[in-house]
């Protein structure tokens, strides 16, 4: 029942004539929404003519000099990145080296936090000194989590302070789809970044710290009597490859950032989520192969076979 003096609310009724005007309008709005979604999806994926199939969850191919994006798949979505995280750890370490806070030949003994870090390791040992240069190679080749935690302590005094610096720096670089929770990339559900963000970080390392790029070009690293191979199988095998970083967890799959230089052109290929295999060596082989296909195609398009899309059309039979 209505309260006293309350005005009844009229039912909304549409006449046939009104419906004739409203229905086409609603259909137009739906069509516009679908068009916007389709345009957004196309913007997410730039697949150029002749690009081979890249078996990965997401990828991006970027010109390191100009920032031009040559090919993408889901490049702006955040994904688990595993030890690709260490690129930010290295970037901040390079900043400290450039500022003079640290030097490559400085020696330190491992902190307790580094010694108790699990996962991949460069095998830091209690009381045994290491140099900063060895620590860098411990991250770039065997992807040592102990080396990454040690770097965090040397730069910021603690892992939490270092992670805050990682996230501040990510925002400064324009990495808006990235969130770091540790310096090493050990599994965390919210430790994610997009291929585009990783390409931005890689480009920043290449342009701001070219003097440290040789650290990414070692096929092997020996420390404490143990020789570790580089999971980036392109390093030392493909002449134009200059780095850069591998990563693997069950959630991330096999991931690889591969960089290369040909005739002055520098390209960055970020490949995330190559299907995982129980045989880890096989997974990194496949990630290396997907990255090489991207780089080869990119160099062909920029150097040897510049764009002529009309020549790529096949004649109808």
Q: What DSSP letter does each residue of 232-264 carry, written as one string? A: -TTTTTSTTEEEEEEEEETTTEEEEEEEEEETT
Section 224-250 average pLDDT: 95
Section 211-240 average pLDDT: 96
Please check whether residue 292 lies inside any domain of the structure: yes
- The answer to the question of whether 245 is labelled as a binding residue is yes
Give the residue with greater pLDDT, 7 vs 161.
Answer: 161
Please check whether residue 13 lies inside any domain of the structure: no
Q: pLDDT band for position 19 (50/70/90)?
A: very low
83 in active site: yes
Please check whether residue 70 lies inside any domain of the structure: yes
Q: In this model, does residue 47 exceed pLDDT 90?
A: no
Please check whether residue 213 lies inside any domain of the structure: yes
Active-site annotation holder among 73, 120, 143, 266:
143
Question: Within a 10 A sphere around the Cβ of 158, how many other Cβ atoms?
Answer: 14
Please check whether residue 243 lies inside any domain of the structure: yes
293 in active site: no
Question: What's the total number of domains in the chain?
Answer: 1
- 172-223, pLDDT tens digit by residue? 999 999 999 999 999 998 899 999 999 999 999 999 999 999 999 999 999 9
Residue 266's domain comprises: 50-305
Q: What is the pLDDT of residue 284?
A: 86
- Cβ partners under 8 Å of residue 136, min gap 6: 90, 93, 104, 147, 212, 215
Please check whether residue 316 lies inside any domain of the structure: no
Q: Residue 270: which CATH number?
A: 3.40.710.10
Give the residue with greater pLDDT, 197 vs 315.
Answer: 197
276 in active site: no
Question: Whole-number mean pLDDT of the chain?
Answer: 86
Please check whether residue 205 lies inside any domain of the structure: yes
Section 232-257 average pLDDT: 94
């Amino acid at each position: 029942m209505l309260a006293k003096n309350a005005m009844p609310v009229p039912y909304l009724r549409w006449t046939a004539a009104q419906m004739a005007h409203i229905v086409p309008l609603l259909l137009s709005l739906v069509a516009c929404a679908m068009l916007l979604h389709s345009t957004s999806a196309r913007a997410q994926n730039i697949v150029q003519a002749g690009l081979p199939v890249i078996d990965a969850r997401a990828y991006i191919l970027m010109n390191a000099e100009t920032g031009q994006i040559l090919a993408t798949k889901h490049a702006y979505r955040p994904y688990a990145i595993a030890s690709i995280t260490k690129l930010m750890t290295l970037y901040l370490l390079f900043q400290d080296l450039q500022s003079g806070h640290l030097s490559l030949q400085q020696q330190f003994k491992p902190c307790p936090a580094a010694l108790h870090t699990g996962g991949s390791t460069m095998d830091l040992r209690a009381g045994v000194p290491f140099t900063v240069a060895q620590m860098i190679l411990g991250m770039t080749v065997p992807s040592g989590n102990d080396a990454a935690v040690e770097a965090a302590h040397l730069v910021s005094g603690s892992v939490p302070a270092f992670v805050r610096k990682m996230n501040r720096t990510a925002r400064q670089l324009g990495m808006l789809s990235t969130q770091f929770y540790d310096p090493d990339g050990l599994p965390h559900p919210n430790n994610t970044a997009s291929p585009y963000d990783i390409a931005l970080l890689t480009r920043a390392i290449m342009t701001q710290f070219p003097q440290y790029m040789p650290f990414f070009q070692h096929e092997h690293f020996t420390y404490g009597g143990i020789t570790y191979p580089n999971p980036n199988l392109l390093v030392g095998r493909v002449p134009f490859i200059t780095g850069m970083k591998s990563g693997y967890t069950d959630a991330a799959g096999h991931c690889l950032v591969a960089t290369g230089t040909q005739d002055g052109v520098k390209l960055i290929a970020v490949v995330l989520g190559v299907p995982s295999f129980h045989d880890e060596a096989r997974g990194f082989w496949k990630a290396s192969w997907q990255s090489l296909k991207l780089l080869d195609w990119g160099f062909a398009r920029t150097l040897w076979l510049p764009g002529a899309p009309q020549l790529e059309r096949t004649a109808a039979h």
